[in-house]
Every structure is written in structure tokens, then in C-alpha cells.
């Protein structure tokens, strides 16, 4: 594996990393392509295979682990595996793109460790754990038990922030989007016109 730059956005669930990544993907001068993760969890709502995730059965996912097909993988919750296929990153690099990830903190740090010179690892920090809980409840996609599980995990994830290259505080979304855009543009060597 070789190729372009890797840009990782990691954060606890509900921090706004997905919103930031979507914003960056809409900036053509950054030449970004989204790395679609594989997962063994069931689809939610209107999620599509090959667009939101590569959905796999548990046995398929484990077969890929055995074959060393993943750049990184993790069992995030019991029997809910997530991972980045090497073939996905190769595919995007072959298109001449810089690859952007919306990924959990463990996966993000693993990729950074494997490609230290090609990776910008950004941690998105929410205003507080209480604010996270409010955001997750507003989504109305998960049970209270799942939300509590995510909140418990968030405290552990927040402690990893110093291991990332940069921490963006997402207290105000517009400010966070601007900061993320500037950071990524600087990293890949693209000049950003100041917004008036």
C-alpha cells in the first residue's frame, strides 16, 4: 500500500465528526474521497451497502480478519465489528484521491501508527458529555441502553484526544467546519481563499 494522504476524523458518537467530514467532502479543491468502512452490524434506517458501509455477516467479517484484508478493525460492541478494508484505500488512492475517514478513535490511531508520515489524525471534541447525550437523544435512532453505552464509551474516548495530531473543539459548528477545512487544506498543500 502506498499513495496519497490519509485524513482521519475520530470522536465519540455525537461529536459532529460526520457533519465535518461531509462538509470537507463537498470542497472540490481538497480532492477527498470517503473511505467506506465495513461492519457486521445490521443496517439502520435508509443505510445502503457500498454507500454508508460495506455490510457483512459476522462470519464474512471474521473471514476477512483471518485473511488479513483489513488495515484496521475492532469489535466496537459485542459482535459489532467495524474495519477498514485495505482494498478500499487502494481503490481510492488509485483514483488519485486523498482518503478521509470518519472512524472510531481506536481505528484512527491504528491507521496513524501504520502510516505516520501520510496521516493527519484529528480528534473532534464535544462541549461536554452531557451535550453528547442530548445530541444522541435528538437523533432518535437508538434505545436509551445503546445511548448509555455510547456515553460510557465516550469518557474513555475523550481520554485519547492527546494522542491525535490536532483537537478541534466542536462547540460552534461553523467555527469547527472552518477550522477543519483550513487544517486539511494546509496538510495537503492547498491554498484556501478566505471567506468574506
17 is in an annotated binding site: yes
**Which positions ≥6 away from 75 have C-beta within 8 Å?**
81
Residue with the three cell numbers 468502512: 37
59 is in an annotated binding site: no
Helices 17-25 and 173-188, packing angle to 10 deg: 50
16 is in an annotated binding site: yes
19 is in an annotated binding site: no
161 is in an annotated binding site: no
| Cα–Cα distance measured from residue 6 to residue 119, given in angstroms and rounded to the nearest whole number | 5
114 is in an annotated binding site: no
14 is in an annotated binding site: yes
96 is in an annotated binding site: no
Residue with the three cell numbers 488519485: 96
**Pick from 137, 158, 134, 159: which is nearest to 146 by CA?**
137
Annotated binding-site positions for ATP: 11-18
Annotated binding-site positions: 11-18
Amino acid at each position: 500500500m502506498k499513495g496519497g494522504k490519509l485524513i482521519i476524523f475520530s470522536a465519540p458518537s455525537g461529536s459532529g465528526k460526520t457533519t465535518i467530514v461531509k462538509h470537507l467532502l463537498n470542497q472540490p479543491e481538497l480532492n477527498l474521497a470517503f473511505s467506506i468502512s465495513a461492519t457486521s452490524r445490521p443496517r439502520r434506517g435508509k443505510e445502503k451497502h457500498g454507500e454508508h458501509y460495506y455490510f457483512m455477516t459476522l462470519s464474512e467479517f471474521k473471514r476477512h480478519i483471518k485473511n488479513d484484508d483489513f488495515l484496521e478493525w475492532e469489535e466496537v460492541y459485542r459482535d459489532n465489528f467495524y474495519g477498514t478494508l485495505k482494498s478500499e484505500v487502494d481503490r481510492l488512492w488509485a483514483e488519485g484521491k486523498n482518503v478521509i475517514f470518519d472512524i472510531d478513535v481506536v481505528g484512527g490511531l491504528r491507521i496513524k501508527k501504520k502510516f505516520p508520515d501520510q496521516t493527519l489524525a484529528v480528534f473532534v471534541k464535544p462541549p461536554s458529555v452531557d451535550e453528547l447525550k442530548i445530541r444522541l437523544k435528538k437523533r432518535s435512532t437508538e434505545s436509551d441502553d445503546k445511548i448509555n453505552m455510547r456515553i460510557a464509551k465516550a469518557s474513555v474516548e475523550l481520554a485519547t484526544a492527546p494522542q491525535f495530531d490536532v483537537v478541534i473543539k466542536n462547540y460552534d459548528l461553523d467555527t469547527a467546519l472552518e477550522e477543519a477545512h483550513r487544517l486539511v487544506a494546509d496538510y495537503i498543500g492547498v491554498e484556501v481563499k478566505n471567506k468574506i
